[in-house]
Structure 1
């Protein structure tokens, strides 16, 4: 297979920006993402090639990592700053745009907080005009956080994350990544699928019933709740857990099992052998407690503010600066960290679909039937698949395949040490897997 280099990558990105996407579903998935302007191919190649050369260098033995934004400094209001704006600070004299300047600047721009500002001067020559402080909230949001933040403008942004590794984005929307001489497009976002939220329908109904019971006790003075809020916040919990595991680089497996199977799993069973289990009490079910508290608090806060004529939901939650909601969101974030940390022990973390943490260090039984062939999903619903033998994957994946083959109402999330994420489920007669965000901002 031929290798790709900056010129190939620039052509690939330019074709996408001009409406000729090579990744077949890119245009449909990102139809609302349009750049403010499209740089010419020559300019884009210069931009990418220079960043590529800088990525191969080191600054005092430190790897060169940075974010870069292609936008004129006048486009940033001079009186703003994080967390609700961008603090742009302009050099008295623009610096040359070359790999040595990028290398020297890289230690000064914290990857998660700052960007290097680049724009063409009147004759079209690219210059480094200064720095842009964005703040780190975008990272928590990408990982499923509940903090509002000022999104990057719809302009080209490059992420240099390692030698020869560059991701091209429009704002926070990734187009593709150049890594190891290969160009990779974003994979399917499983959270957009119908099958995943449908698997949790009963558990969401239970949460809504608990919320409605609390509403009746409080005299119905609350704002009405958007029923989709439960689904959204549940997805963000899982995103947080997965994002934290990926950033740890040790990998891990999360198993979601139906609540009605708790007794089976907590006794001697043919599926898993636990190293550690938890006592059945409220702390084991803390996710459920906090989710209901968040639903109740959201409706209380907006009800007291006089909101009665519309449902409140995720956007209201993210935008709110109410201290009670902020505290609950922090509690949720800490719980996500707890679950992610449990994956550091060999074996799986086992949870119910109510997000009840049963135990960790769970070794999936080797006595379960081996799975020699699985199906790789080519679309969100898994209606289009292709067969794949299991010889090429590690023990963690093969054990998840065995479990889902035997326990067909389970869902496994397998995170590799290199950051790849795979959702596994019995689907339409086969063990099926979906690669999730195999190349995205989460990779950073």
Structure 2
């Protein structure tokens, strides 16, 4: 591709992204898996990022474009919508076509002939490890691919925001204190378990972040009442008996979970709980997904020390573990979540900020303190 690249971050990240996809595709083939996605060359990656970035800064009838580009030829797409005439891959063209393809799950197909990239149509389904570039908001791009098996959200590879580049560090999953929910976000959970266990928490996190109002979700052990020692009483929005819609869905057998009606019900149940986290205070569920309360005010447990420091990490290349005061990572929600996990060490706290930041708080047995995992780069 001979086009001039003017967005410097595109040049900086293209080689790293190329190596990621080449390695994933090679390993998949060595395992005997079907991996038909083409390997994106660094020049293609840089050109697509450059075009998408400048398109993200344009506006059409007052709206910024939200689009998803997939590098795939039409003959490899499943039930594609193919244009009679190819469209040039330019920022102007992306801005013009964006209103018709901004809904979730629609990808614009991008391929090349000679030295020119073009848009050939749209598709809903793409192959595993296909290079996907999402324009999420002005200046914010996410490079990702579909996870193995096609279940759940895509795996993020890198996030670009202005001149800031965050490349996901998959080795974070090997850290001794890495919680299962982070392992799932990094893409190491089995595809068959996407609708099980911690993967429900991933979907709750995505939904919490999507409503954009900020919120806190506390996950406490089922059958135990210790968590109440860290909540102000009376609880204004306590739920009795516990609301078990999500729990009942998760108890249904595997065959039932393949039905579209079950998947729709699951999304609705998750969005309902995630919506409650927007209410001032924290939403409380058990690790079996029973809703116990929302709008709960977190307090320091009786005779417990105030949390003064914690470990902070972000699973991106170059990100180093730091010991920081809880207030350094956010506001009141973050402080109270850190205190809750400090006092209730078998609990988990998920905190969404209004600005899109998302943090998972867990207790670290290795460090003997609260561990804050910044994961918004994995949720976009």
> Structure 1 length normalisation: TM-score?
0.67
Count of matched residue pairs:
345
Kept in 1, the 8 Å contact 2:106–2:123? The answer is: yes
Report the Cα offset of residue 418 of structure 1: 2.7
Q: Where do 5+ consecutive residues of structure 1 fail to align?
A: 22-26, 77-84, 135-149, 199-227, 302-316
Aligned to 1:223: none
3-state SS, counterpart of residue 176 of structure 1: strand
- The one of 395, 405, 410 equivalent to 2:347 is 410
3-state SS, counterpart of residue 183 of structure 1: strand
Report the Cα offset of residue 348 of structure 1: 0.4
Aligned to 2:372: 433
Residues 119/348 of structure 1: CA separation in 2 closer, same or farther (3 Å cut): same
Matched, 1:290 2:249: yes
Report the Cα offset of residue 192 of structure 1: 10
Greater C-alpha Rg: 1
| Matches for 1:253-332 after TM superposition, within 5 Å | 253-262=216-225, 265=228, 269=229, 271-273=231-233, 274-280=235-241, 284-292=243-251, 294-295=252-253, 298=254, 320-321=258-259, 326-332=260-266
Report the Cα offset of residue 364 of structure 1: 0.8
Residues 28/271 of structure 1: CA separation in 2 closer, same or farther (3 Å cut): farther
Residues 290/420 of structure 1: CA separation in 2 closer, same or farther (3 Å cut): same
Aligned to 2:326: 390
| Matches for 1:25-424 after TM superposition, within 5 Å | 32=28, 36-76=37-77, 85-91=78-84, 93-121=85-113, 123-129=114-120, 131-134=121-124, 150-171=125-146, 172-186=154-168, 196=179, 233-262=196-225, 265=228, 269=229, 271-273=231-233, 274-280=235-241, 284-292=243-251, 294-295=252-253, 298=254, 320-321=258-259, 326-365=260-299, 369-377=305-313, 385-392=321-328, 393-424=330-361
Kept in 1, the 8 Å contact 2:230–2:340? The answer is: no
Report the Cα offset of residue 345 of structure 1: 0.9
Structure 1 stretch 40-49 or stretch 354-363: which is displaced more? 40-49
Q: Where do 5+ consecutive residues of structure 2 fail to align?
A: 30-34, 147-153, 182-190
Higher relative contact order (CA 8 A, sep 6+): 1
Report the Cα offset of residue 59 of structure 1: 0.7
- Please give the alpha-carbon distance, in whole angstroms, between the structure 2 residues aligned to 1:163 and 1:421: 19
Kept in 2, the 8 Å contact 1:13–1:176? The answer is: no
Kept in 1, the 8 Å contact 2:36–2:127? The answer is: no
Report the Cα offset of residue 413 of structure 1: 1.4
Report the Cα offset of residue 248 of structure 1: 0.2
> Structure 2 length normalisation: TM-score?
0.77
- Please give the alpha-carbon distance, in whole angstroms, between the structure 2 residues aligned to 1:413 and 1:29: 33
- Please give the alpha-carbon distance, in whole angstroms, between the structure 2 residues aligned to 1:407 and 1:61: 47
- Please give the alpha-carbon distance, in whole angstroms, between the structure 1 residues aligned to 2:279 and 2:309: 28
Kept in 2, the 8 Å contact 1:197–1:231? The answer is: no
- Please give the alpha-carbon distance, in whole angstroms, between the structure 2 residues aligned to 1:388 and 1:39: 40
